[in-house]
Amino acid sequence: MRRTWQIDTVTDAALARIATARVASAYAVPSVGRTRLATALSAQLRQCLAKGGSWRLTLHVSEPPAELARLRLTLTASDPAAHPPWRTTVPCARTPIAEIGPVEDSPAALAESLLGADEDTALLLERLSEQERLVAFHRDELHQTNQGVLALHAELDAAGQAQQEAFGAERRAREEAESARRRLTFLADASAALTSSLDHDEVVRRLPELLVPEYARSVDVWLFDGDDDRRTAAPHPAAAVVAARTGRPQYAAREPGGLPGVDHQPPSALDPESPLLCVPLPTRRAPLGVLTLAPPGDGWDPDDVVMLIEFARRASVAIDNARRFEHNRDIAETLQRALLTDLPAGPGLSLAARYLPATHGLNIGGDWYDAFRQPDGSLIAVVGDVTGHGLHAAVMMSQLRTALRAYAVDGGSPGTLLTRLHTFLHHLQPDLYATAVIARFRPGQPSLTWAAAGHPPPLLRTPDGRVHTLDAKPGAMLGIPLSQEIDDHTVPLPPGSTLALYTDGLVERRAQGIDPGIARLADALGSFGPADLADLDGSADRVLDPMLSDSERDDDVCLLLCHVTG
């Protein structure tokens, strides 16, 4: 549908507007859209009339494939080049829903059109009022929402501050935990370093090495016994004397340090400008001495002082243990050396022995050697090993040695002597065991009688240079809860032969076992010539050198060489 109106006057413009409104109404254009269309058209028509000239308004309803059609308005001037056309469109129905009559040029038609325009305007105003009420409603909602948002922001801000405070507390707790972990790690490492040595001087020497420079600028160790006299005497601060007398830590400075468990003293006259911390080295009886520390900076953290007091306690225990160990070691070593007798001399047989204590731990054990003559002229050579180390093992070894000499007066064979020692040890010390090997040499007889109880096998070097392992069936260890009769074994012993008796400390290594060590000992014996064996003491040293050069010893070593000369 298409319609065109020629507009030259105001009446033409009014009639065109009325016709457009009726077409829009007939094609079901909504009232709001219809009002907007009429208002926009009226504004354009006023402009056209103000400009003057002749204008043409064209109304066209298009019918596209879509469900809704489009109502198009085009307002053009007689001179399009001077005034560009005005166009607008609104959606409408595809077909009119009411009959479109002609617009009469009469006052009644104009009045009716004016009233109809007022109805559309009233409807638009009603819609506008609804929108205003809706806007007011949404404004209230928005205001309430804003209030809620503000409250939420306040809560979030408070929560953020609380979270920040929690993070700060967590960070401080983490730092405190890290400091505590660092102190505990230091105490653990320091304890391991102090207890790894049983040398009193070594323990004392390690104290400054552990504390400087992290926890002290300097460290003075004042010990009360005579061992401290070996070092250059130096004056001690008055606070150290008070700590020694009272057994309580003292802090010497111009101002109190507020340190837990520490008494305050005036600054030291030896160094008034530097604060000093004097910590006693406590034991169950009385302090061993005093540690005097100068701070690494201006002072100490209270937690560090608590840690230093605990460090002093552990250091005191380590020093006390080292002293006790050295005391027991000296007693046991004196006892054991006294029990290692001189070897007998005799025609046709030469003897050489070596004993080396362990280099780890309490280096006094139950290893021993002995050689003596029986009433019939036979010579008994024995090497034994009592389980364990220390004074108890040394005392038990002396009892076995004495019992063996007493039993040998009756003239028993090596197996008989070991059987009697087994019974003796089982009744004397049921929880202590020993191993031993006994060899008997008879004058004028080219044979050797021997017996072993749980001991490494003897090695026999014959004059031709070959080394034989005497591994005939031995008896079980001495002292075990088992009744046993230990057998004798006899082998030829031509002149020039050499018998080696030894303990397991010479041949056994933890990573290798005992068999490789026995093989190395056999190789060392086989490498000697007749001239070497003429100097049996030198041969004993030459055996030990390659056997003990590979590692430190954690067990005693005992070797007895018996060489038949004629």
Residue 120 domain-assigned?
A: no
Is residue 496 within 8 Å of 465, Cβ to Cβ? no
Is residue 290 within 8 Å of 279, Cβ to Cβ? yes
Amino acid at 328: N
Q: Same domain, yes or no, for 346 and 302?
A: no
Q: Same domain, yes or no, for 530 and 556?
A: yes
User: How confident is residue 550, by pLDDT bands cut at 50, 70 and 90?
Assistant: low
Sheet holding 2-7, edge to edge: 2-7, 55-62, 69-77, 86-92
| Confidence check: pLDDT of 444 > 90 | no
pLDDT tens per residue, range 473-498: 889 999 999 899 999 999 999 999 99
Full residue range of the structural domain in which residue 33 is found = 2-105
Residue 179 domain-assigned?
A: no
Q: Same domain, yes or no, for 211 and 248?
A: yes
| Confidence check: pLDDT of 362 > 80 | no
Q: Same domain, yes or no, for 454 and 542?
A: yes
| Confidence check: pLDDT of 343 > 60 | yes
Instruction: Point out the domain boundary residue: 87, 105, 123.
Output: 105
CATH number for the domain including 538?
A: 3.60.40.10
Residue-level pLDDT at 227: 47
Instruction: Point out the domain boundary residue: 328, 359, 385.
Output: 328
Residue 146 domain-assigned?
A: no
Residue 433 domain-assigned?
A: yes
Q: Is 483 exposed, middle or buried (0-12, 13-18, 19+ CB in 10 A)?
A: exposed
Q: Report which DSSP code applies to 64.
A: -
Q: Same domain, yes or no, for 508 and 536?
A: yes
How many angstroms from the chain centroid is the CA of residue 266?
42
User: How confident is residue 454, by pLDDT bands cut at 50, 70 and 90?
Assistant: very high
d(CA 191, CA 200): 15
Out of 300-314, 361-375, 544-558, pick the least confident.
544-558
Higher pLDDT, 186 or 329: 186
Residue-level pLDDT at 553: 59
Residue 159 domain-assigned?
A: no
Residue 186 domain-assigned?
A: no
pLDDT tens per residue, range 96-112: 887 777 776 667 666 66
pLDDT tens per residue, range 2-45: 889 999 888 888 888 888 888 888 888 888 888 888 889 999 99
Instruction: Point out the domain boundary residue: 56, 86, 105.
Output: 105
Q: Tokens 């102190």: give the residue.
A: 183
Residue-level pLDDT at 503: 92
Contacts of 517 (CB under 8 A, 6+ apart): 506, 507, 508, 509, 547
Residue 265 domain-assigned?
A: yes
d(CA 412, CA 374): 9
Q: How many residues would you count in the chain?
A: 566
Residue 122 domain-assigned?
A: no
Amino acid at 149: V
Q: Same domain, yes or no, for 302 and 356?
A: no
Q: In what helix (H) or strand (E) does residue 421 lie, and over which residues does it extend?
A: helix 414-428
The predicted model gives 278-290 an average pLDDT of: 89
Residue whose C-alpha is closest to residue 414's, from 456, 446, 383, 386: 383
Q: Same domain, yes or no, for 535 and 425?
A: yes
d(CA 431, CA 495): 42
d(CA 452, CA 428): 20
Mean pLDDT, the chain, whole residue set: 86
CATH number for the domain including 261?
A: 3.30.450.40
Q: Same domain, yes or no, for 323 and 357?
A: no
User: How confident is residue 554, by pLDDT bands cut at 50, 70 and 90?
Assistant: low
Give, rounded to a whole angstrom, the gap between the first and last alpha carbons of the chain. Answer: 153
pLDDT tens per residue, range 226-283: 544 445 567 889 999 999 999 999 999 988 888 888 999 999 888 888 899 999 999 8
Q: Same domain, yes or no, for 448 and 361?
A: yes
pLDDT tens per residue, range 139-160: 888 988 888 888 989 999 998 8
Amino acid at 329: R
| Confidence check: pLDDT of 510 > 50 | yes
Q: Report which DSSP code applies to 383.
A: E
pLDDT tens per residue, range 404-441: 999 999 889 999 999 999 999 988 887 789 999 999 99
Q: Same domain, yes or no, for 356 and 481?
A: yes
pTM tops 0.85, yes or no: no
Number of domains the chain is built from: 3
How many angstroms from the chain centroid is the CA of residue 286?
37
Q: 3-state DSSP: the chain helix, strand, coil percent, rounded to 5? A: 45, 20, 30
Residue-level pLDDT at 360: 56
Residue 451 zone, left/alpha/beta (φ > 0; ψ -120 to 50; rest)? beta
Out of 211-220, 248-257, 328-337, 352-361, pick the least confident.
328-337
The predicted model gives 532-548 an average pLDDT of: 86
d(CA 447, CA 437): 17
Rg of the chain (C-alpha set) = 58
What is the DSSP pairing of strand 263-265 with strand 250-252?
parallel
The predicted model gives 282-286 an average pLDDT of: 84
| Confidence check: pLDDT of 403 > 90 | yes
Q: Same domain, yes or no, for 400 and 520?
A: yes
Give DSSP secondary structure letters for 161-216: HHHHHHHHHHHHHHHHHHHHHHHHHHHHHHHHHHHT---HHHHHHHHHHHHTTTT-
Give DSSP secondary structure letters for 96-113: -SS--PPPP-SHHHHHHH
Q: Same domain, yes or no, for 221 and 345?
A: no
